[in-house]
């Protein structure tokens, strides 16, 4: 085959310039020409640093590998090619088995109320100190290339770089978990992951292996209620709660222990998407949550959470009608109220996603003096598992030397060598105790970490406590604590998920479990699945208790009266009223929301005053699911023109179907009529902006029965 590149003549002048640059040191500042895919671009040499190998050797040609001749084979001698390709071949490290899809950011924690009475940990006793941190949010089931928005638990992990060492608070956006003992974790993850014989579904629980495992694991029923609720469909990472899940211990100066559970509460309140919206977001923008946080931080709208604790003694725990060491249980806030002690602010996006978000290594075993562990068997297993996972992923026991993982306080020990060792310890001594060095690190009996002194008695064995036997009471409490809309969403989610299960006996077993939680819920699911005879409930290992309703368990109760963190889309076209557009933008931005102006085309839109409008997005490429509310400002002619535009009618119809507020001017009425929009409290004229802004803060739940009748 002829070499087609030789048919394009290479001008002599640039070639000479390159040659002269190599031989004439007096021409360093002269313009030079470099080849790039057959084209030549003029550059100024001093504008860019030199491209080099990893050893610092300056590279003269980054476009062509070394060949025997112009059409000959590439030479093994080309060490520059080999270094570049070898590094590329090894760019990917094993992704996390769970929590592979993640988003991280830097920030700080500031203590506002000291817990000095309960702990010696300085991060929890020294107020008004800004402790740097790195937080990572993640989905559990999907791979690193999956979408941000599936129905899934979200990881919520924070690495505090304290003055006493790193403290990792590794949790989720749900306060309970599926299982009681860590020995079942591999089974759970194998069941929830894509089925091994077919490699799907990705990032979804709607399949046989997951529900087969759940149907045979009654302890998971409380978690099932949470994952089928709107908690697993967050609108934004900054609009979800975080929980440490387990009970931990705080140890004070006297060695006394107090149990603690950690809670993160978002400043923006809780907000979720609805199912149809979620499905469409996954297609419209798989990076929806990541992009939202990136945009918020870059715009100076820093995500913020309050840290709260539940503190209780062993004596109080003995009175609970459940065992707090059981990770499938929570402590209702009405029983042990939250105490708010500080805040976390995320104010800096990582400089490099891989180096920081991908390589950050969280371990629950990373604690500081004054914080200790409880005997929760799930936590005990995690103390081993996380460290072992990091050794596998990051390839070395020296992963703590990666900058995002490195402590910011001084650290020293006698650990040496190993793969990717970056430090260079000096001296003869690498052991302790020793008599040969006066400066080598030694143990510190007074200031060092101490585990709580605890007397342990009993028979060794693979035993599960009787106090872990109640699997349904808190699941029932959670469901009954939801309002009617939230209960309807749980029912719809269960029908959707179980409808994807191929084996009838699994569907029937799940309905049987639901009878222990709520008879009406079980009947709704059976009806939705077409099961005529309600299956028997399985034998319960403990009586199902009726706990008091807990308003704190609902999501809608925790929505904030704010537009901050929301995005409002404004649809315009040629002839849209300029004055109305300006007023609407000002009102929305005053509420702390972001405005995005959309039009049928990205350029060439002129308003009523003949000025060119700045367009943020083309209508067909900006689906409704990217916005929390919309405003439609159109001339009568533009409105009629857009009646024929499917993107326009779907844009307005989706806003209505997704229960969002819509503001409209007189000219746009025909488009709303074409889309079948029916008037309600969320459909507001632009002349009543105050009413629109109020409606935009919430969804129009009363509309839901019209657009999506409940199961």
Are 152 and 277 part of one and the same domain?
Answer: yes
State the pLDDT at residue 458. Answer: 85
Q: State the pLDDT confidence band at 447, using cuts at 50, 70 and 90.
A: confident
Q: Is residue 432 part of a domain?
A: no
Are 298 and 201 part of one and the same domain?
Answer: yes
Number of other CB atoms surrounding residue 157 within 10 Å: 23
Are 633 and 686 part of one and the same domain?
Answer: yes
State the pLDDT at residue 46. Answer: 59
Q: Are strands 102-111 and 130-139 parallel, antiparallel or unpaired?
A: antiparallel
Which of the following is catalytic: 36, 69, 87, 99? 99
| Residue 336 belongs to domain with CATH number | 2.40.180.10
Is 324 an active-site residue? Answer: no
Range of the domain at 15: 1-63
Mark which of 43, 63, 83 sits at the end of a domain.
Answer: 63
State the pLDDT at residue 18. Answer: 37
DSSP class of residue 346 equals: E
Mean pLDDT of the chain: 92
Are 56 and 128 part of one and the same domain?
Answer: no
Are 108 and 48 part of one and the same domain?
Answer: no
DSSP class of residue 315 equals: H
Are 34 and 114 part of one and the same domain?
Answer: no
Percent of the chain predicted with pLDDT > 90: 81
Are 172 and 232 part of one and the same domain?
Answer: yes
Mark which of 401, 436, 465 sits at the end of a domain.
Answer: 401
Are 14 and 127 part of one and the same domain?
Answer: no
Percent of the chain predicted with pLDDT > 70: 94
Are 222 and 136 part of one and the same domain?
Answer: yes
Ramachandran quadrant class, 510 (left: phi over 0; alpha: psi -120 to 50; beta: rest):
alpha
- In this prediction, residues 343-360 reach a mean pLDDT of 98
Q: Is residue 134 part of a domain?
A: yes
Q: Is residue 264 part of a domain?
A: yes
Q: Is residue 305 part of a domain?
A: yes
Domain count, the chain: 3
**What b/e string do you get for 122-140 counting C-beta neighbours within 10 Å, with b at 16 or more?**
bbbbeeeeebebbbbbbbb
Contact 637, 666 (CB under 8 A): no
Q: Is residue 664 part of a domain?
A: yes
pLDDT greater at residue 339 or residue 416: 339
CA distance 347 to 130: 12
State the pLDDT at residue 132. Answer: 98
Are 136 and 32 part of one and the same domain?
Answer: no
Are 309 and 208 part of one and the same domain?
Answer: yes
Q: State the pLDDT confidence band at 72, using cuts at 50, 70 and 90.
A: confident
Q: Is residue 410 part of a domain?
A: no
Which of the following is catalytic: 166, 172, 173, 657? 172
Please tell me whether residue 45 adopts helix, strand or coil conformation.
helix
CA distance 500 to 497: 6
The residue to which tokens 């819920």 are assigned: 521
**Can you give the pTM of this predicted structure?**
0.90
For residue 47, pLDDT beyond 90? no
For residue 233, pLDDT beyond 90? yes
| Residue 629 belongs to domain with CATH number | 3.40.50.880
DSSP class of residue 77 equals: T
- Tell me: the pLDDT tens digits for 678-698? 999 999 999 999 999 999 999
The mean-pLDDT minimum among 32-46, 72-86, 214-228, 663-677 falls in 32-46
Is 483 an active-site residue? Answer: no
- In this prediction, residues 260-274 reach a mean pLDDT of 97
Instruction: Please provide residue 502's backbone torsions phi and psi, each rounded to the nearest 5 degrees.
Output: -80, -30
Q: How far apart are the first and last CA of the chain?
A: 66
For residue 32, pLDDT beyond 50? no
Q: Is residue 676 part of a domain?
A: yes
CA distance 97 to 112: 37
- What is the token pair recorded at 118? 């309960």
Are 269 and 352 part of one and the same domain?
Answer: yes
């Amino acid at each position: 085959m002829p070499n087609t590149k030789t048919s394009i003549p290479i001008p002599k002048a640039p070639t000479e310039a390159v040659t002269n640059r190599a031989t004439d040191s007096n021409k360093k500042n002269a313009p030079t020409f470099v080849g790039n895919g057959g084209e030549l671009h003029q550059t100024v040499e001093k504008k860019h640093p030199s491209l080099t190998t990893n050893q610092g050797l300056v590279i003269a040609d980054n476009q062509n590998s070394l060949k025997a001749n112009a059409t000959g084979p590439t030479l093994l001698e080309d060490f520059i090619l080999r270094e570049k390709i070898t590094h590329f071949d090894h760019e990917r490290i094993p992704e996390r088995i769970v929590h592979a899809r993640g988003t991280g950011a830097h920030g700080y924690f500031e203590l506002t109320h000291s817990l000095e009475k309960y702990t010696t940990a300085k991060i929890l006793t020294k107020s008004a100190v800004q402790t740097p941190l790195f937080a990572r949010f993640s989905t559990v089931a999907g791979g690193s290339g999956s979408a941000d928005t599936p129905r899934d638990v979200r990881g919520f992990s924070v690495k505090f770089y304290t003055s006493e060492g790193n403290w990792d608070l590794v949790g989720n956006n749900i306060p309970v978990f599926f299982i009681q003992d860590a020995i079942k974790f591999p089974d759970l993850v194998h069941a929830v992951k894509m089925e091994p014989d077919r490699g799907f579904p990705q990032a979804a629980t709607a399949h046989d292996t997951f529900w087969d495992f759940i149907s045979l694991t009654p302890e998971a029923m409380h978690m099932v209620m949470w994952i089928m609720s709107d908690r697993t469909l967050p609108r934004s990472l900054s609009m979800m709660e975080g929980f440490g899940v387990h009970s931990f211990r705080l140890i004070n100066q006297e060695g006394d222990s107090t149990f603690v559970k950690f809670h993160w509460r978002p400043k923006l309140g809780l907000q979720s998407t609805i199912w149809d919206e979620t499905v469409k977001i996954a297609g419209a923008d798989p990076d929806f949550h990541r992009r939202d946080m990136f945009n918020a931080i870059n715009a100076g709208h820093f995500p913020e959470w309050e840290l709260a604790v539940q503190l209780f003694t062993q004596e109080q725990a003995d009175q609970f009608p459940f065992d707090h060491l059981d990770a499938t249980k929570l402590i209702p806030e009405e029983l042990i109220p939250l105490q708010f002690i500080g805040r976390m602010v995320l104010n800096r996006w990582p400089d490099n996603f891989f180096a920081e978000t991908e390589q950050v290594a969280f371990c629950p075993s990373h604690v500081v003096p004054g914080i200790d562990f409880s005997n929760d068997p799930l936590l005990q297993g995690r103390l081993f598992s996380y460290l072992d996972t990091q050794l596998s992923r990051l390839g070395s026991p020296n992963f703590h030397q990666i900058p995002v993982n490195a402590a910011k306080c001084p650290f020293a020990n006698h650990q040496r060598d190993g793969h990717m060792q970056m430090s260079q310890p000096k001296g003869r001594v690498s052991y302790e105790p020793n008599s040969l060095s006066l400066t080598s690190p030694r143990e510190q009996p007074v200031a060092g970490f101490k585990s709580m002194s605890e007397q342990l008695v009993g028979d060794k064995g693979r035993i599960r406590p009787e106090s872990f036997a109640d699997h349904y009471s808190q699941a029932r409490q959670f469901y009954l604590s939801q309002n009617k809309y939230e209960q309807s969403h749980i029912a719809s989610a269960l029908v959707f998920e179980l409808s994807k299960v191929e084996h009838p006996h699994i569907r029937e077993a799940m309905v049987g479990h639901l009878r222990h939680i709520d008879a009406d819920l079980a009947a709704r699911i059976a009806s939705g699945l077409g099961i005529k005879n309600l299956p028997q409930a399985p034998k319960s290992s403990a009586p199902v208790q009726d706990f008091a309703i807990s308003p704190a368990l609902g999501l809608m109760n925790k929505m904030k009266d704010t537009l901050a963190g929301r995005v409002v889309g404004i649809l315009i076209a040629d002839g849209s009223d300029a004055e109305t557009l300006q007023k609407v933008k000002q009102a929305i931005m005053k509420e702390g929301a972001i405005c995005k102006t959309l039009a049928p085309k990205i350029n060439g839109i002129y308003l009523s005053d003949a000025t060119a409008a700045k367009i943020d997005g083309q209508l067909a490429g900006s689906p409704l699911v990217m916005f929390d509310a919309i405003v439609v400002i159109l001339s009568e002619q533009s409105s009629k023109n857009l009646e024929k535009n499917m993107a326009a009618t779907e844009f307005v119809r989706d806003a209505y179907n997704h229960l969002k507020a819509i503001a409209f001017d007189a000219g746009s009425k025909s488009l709303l009529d074409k889309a079948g929009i029916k008037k309600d409290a969320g459909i507001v004229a632009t002349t009543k902006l105050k009413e629109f802004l109020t409606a935009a803060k919430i969804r129009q739940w009363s509309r839901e029965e019209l657009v999506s009748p409940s199961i």
